[in-house]
Amino acid sequence: MVTPFRPDGEVDLELAARLADHLVRHGSDGLVLCGTTGESPTLSWEEQHRLFDAVKEAVVGRAQLLAGSGSNCTAEAVEATREAARLGADGALVVVPYYNKPPQDGLEAHFRAVADAAPELPLMLYNIPGRTGCSLTADTVARLLDRPNVVSFKAASGTTEEVSQLRLLCGDRLAIYCGDDALTLPMLAVGAVGVVSVASHLAGPEIQAMVQAFLGGDMTGALALHERLLPLGKALFCTTNPIPVKAALEIAGWPVGAPRLPLLPADSDVRQRLHSVMAALRPT
């Protein structure tokens, strides 16, 4: 979920609560707060905690809430994951440490420390090498499954091969979620169970219908929805996320504000592309 900002740059908790309610009523089974799309790098931990409380109050009992608790500092990730458990999160999204590029044994030690910090809290490991500079291998993930709260994985490497390797080594012990809207159907075909979606801000019911069609064996219906949704999935990543999705929400009537620096608002070319794609998605 995006983090809405007021014109003065502060987090808009009231709008965040309304947006969360809208997403849950329009196809989302759960919400990830303060992930990449939520601009976690430019939010203070205090802001993240207040945002979580506001959203939890808005959707309690109707959706699973995952809190982004990753960091490139293990001690910080440990403390953030403990705080997510204290706040009542249903799980935590823990990204691969970024910038310092630890080797696999360092990544394994990092995630073990986080898992052990809150053993009652389910964890979704988050691999996005395009942003972090290193990749968590399937071998390392398989070793981490000795921690019972390591239960899911967000696959955002941009390849279906990642899902296949995880399935070969981890089987049904690990729930794999697509981390790239455009690849949702291909990843479902090789063993993913759902998607952590950006496009759901604009097309939640259609994405839910595509997943349900696939899981129900309606491959023709799933493919038709995939092809209809593909231009939106591509447009929302035509420049750095969440620049396009915030612009798209503004176009759709949600004044979520511009991203925080160093990200800038969408330029006119991006906005025009979004206008065209969104108009094509509207029912005729």
Q: Which residues are catalytic?
A: 126, 154
* 185 residue type, one letter: L
Sheet of strand 150-155, all strands in order from the earlier edge strand to the far edge: 30-33, 64-68, 91-95, 123-127, 150-155, 175-178, 194-195
- Contacting residues for 119 by C-beta, under 8 A, at least 6 apart: 147, 148, 149
Cα–Cα dist 270/15, whole Å: 24
Q: What's the one-letter identity of residue 268?
A: S
173: Cα within 13 Å, side-chain hemisphere: 16
Tokens (6 digits) for 221: 């219906």
